[in-house]
A and B are shown apart, each in its own frame.
Chain A
């Protein structure tokens, strides 16, 4: 690194900090909302009502197998094209890039997490469900007390992967004008024409964040594992 670049990076430090903060907000909020959505969808996906199950399946399939770039682009620029959307009560929300990003990321992570949750739910031994039924537990109680806690625990390692993927996916928010970490890095790279140095710096920040996430998930795995208590 030569010194003009170094001084350019130093001058951009506040931008890097605010970009990192925006990344953290987007990821945390989308993951939270996505988890709620995913739990709901996973339950619907395993429902015995065929239309409900197929709707959940369709949602999961569409959002898992198209690029996030396309999803976020269509939700932000696509929906804005329709007069009906611009006249609707939702427009104050949809005209903001921030909320469009949250909506797109939530729908995306919701689909992936729903599949992870389904795996977790299916891994709960059937004998336990039968035992709970024999004790007189009904649907909601059964889910809340027996199935979901174990499903969460089972799904945790795969969910750790999903958190990291969401962290990386959040980089796409810059195409709808949100200057998160990658957006800041891209802007500085385009201004200074020194992309590799700038992206290495941003990469180090991402690496730090995913290291923290990996450690956190590891700790949670240990605490939730009854055999290690």
Chain B
């Protein structure tokens, strides 16, 4: 009898907690409203909120940044309202899969590996990857003989520049943000000659560039821009060619669930339209101070 009572209490407590935790979707019974082109209205957008100038939180709790303005523009084009919320990185993909929001704009690089789990739109930002080192480092004095290096199209000059890079960085410590396309690049092309340090954020990598714990860092230009423009970055400079193509992928894109084909089409159309009428270029120049938009 006692056990029965104890068991019943346990069930009641758990059920009570579950009841409190449940609430129906905001629009009531059933799925949220849709436009006739299959776009949920409102469109729920998640971003990270700590990655300037893409997305960053303000002291009053609001969000701003390139991706916030872009999301609003895309929603306007699709005729829906945007609900943009910040979500910590560690929960951002499970939240998408669990249906907490419909699309993520958070500076995510589209890669084939990630396409197994989510769909990506066409890219909206694409900038070359650059190495950065302290200005007084001999690395910044080397002449690599070319401005751009396309990994998808390695001609003789590019191969020479790549070899030169390899020789210059031999035995050095190079920092990179963990699990990025840039980490892939280091693993593939320089993995056997340099020590790779993997940072959770670019900002922490910047701190260690300043203290000299790493000899150089690799990231794309939009990532370096806030550091190089800030006070800490005055003693640092890029070196070597801007690297694009190949495993560096097509650029930064919005991510959505795999079963959302109609939303994907609508977003792709809106992004393409924003590129064609010059909005994308304008927003990029406003936030990055140069045209970082994907072509």
Contacts and interface: CB of A to CB of B under 8 A. Distances in A.
Most buried by B among A5, A77, A190, A192: A190
B137 to A, nearest CB: 16
Interface string B42-62: 000000000000000000000
B179 interface: yes
Contacts of A80: 207-208, 211, 213
Interface in A22-52: none
Contacts of A193: 93, 113-114, 116-118, 255
B198 A195 contact: no
Nearest to B214: A177
Contact of A179 (B111, B198, B207): B198
Given A193-B118, A195-B90, A81 B200 contact: no
B207 A192 contact: no
A77 B204 contact: yes
Contacts of A179: 198
Contact of A186 (B118, B178, B212, B213): B178
Contacts of B114: 191-193
B199 interface: yes
Contact of A77 (B111, B118, B207): B207
Interface residues of B, number: 24
Contacts of A5: 116
A187 B176 CA distance: 12
B275 interface: no
Interface in B221-235: none
A187 B198 CA distance: 9
A191 B113 contact: yes
Nearest to B96: A193
A177 B207 CA distance: 13
A191 B179 contact: yes
B197 interface: yes
Contacts of B116: 2, 4-5, 8, 192-194
B177 to A, nearest CB: 9
B94 interface: yes
A77 B199 CA distance: 12
Interface in A175-228: 175-177, 179, 183, 186-196
Given A77-B204, A80-B211, A175-B204, A195 B197 contact: no
Given A80-B211, A191-B113, A191-B179, A183 B94 contact: no
A61 interface: no
B29 to A, nearest CB: 29
A175 B211 contact: no
Interface string B183-224: 100000000000001111000100110011100000000000
A174 interface: yes
Contacts, number: 68
Contacts of A194: 93, 116-117
A97 B197 contact: yes
B178 A187 contact: yes
B117 A175 contact: no
A175 B113 contact: no
A77 B90 CA distance: 22
A8 B112 CA distance: 12
B231 to A, nearest CB: 13
A208 B186 CA distance: 33
A173 B118 CA distance: 29
Interface string A86-114: 10000000010100000000000000000
Contacts of B175: 177
A175 B204 CA distance: 9
Nearest to B116: A4
Contacts of A187: 178-179, 183, 198
Nearest to B115: A193
Contacts of A95: 211-213
Nearest to B179: A190
A81 B211 contact: yes
B198 A177 contact: yes
A193 B255 CA distance: 10
Nearest to A175: B200
Interface of B: 90, 93-94, 111, 113-114, 116-118, 175, 178-179, 183, 197-200, 204, 207-208, 211-213, 255
Given A187-B183, A191-B179, 12 more contacts: A8-B116, A80-B208, A95-B212, A177-B175, A177-B197, A186-B90, A186-B200, A187-B178, A187-B179, A189-B179, A192-B116, A193-B93
11 contacts: A77-B207, A77-B208, A95-B212, A176-B204, A177-B199, A183-B198, A186-B179, A186-B200, A189-B179, A191-B179, A193-B255
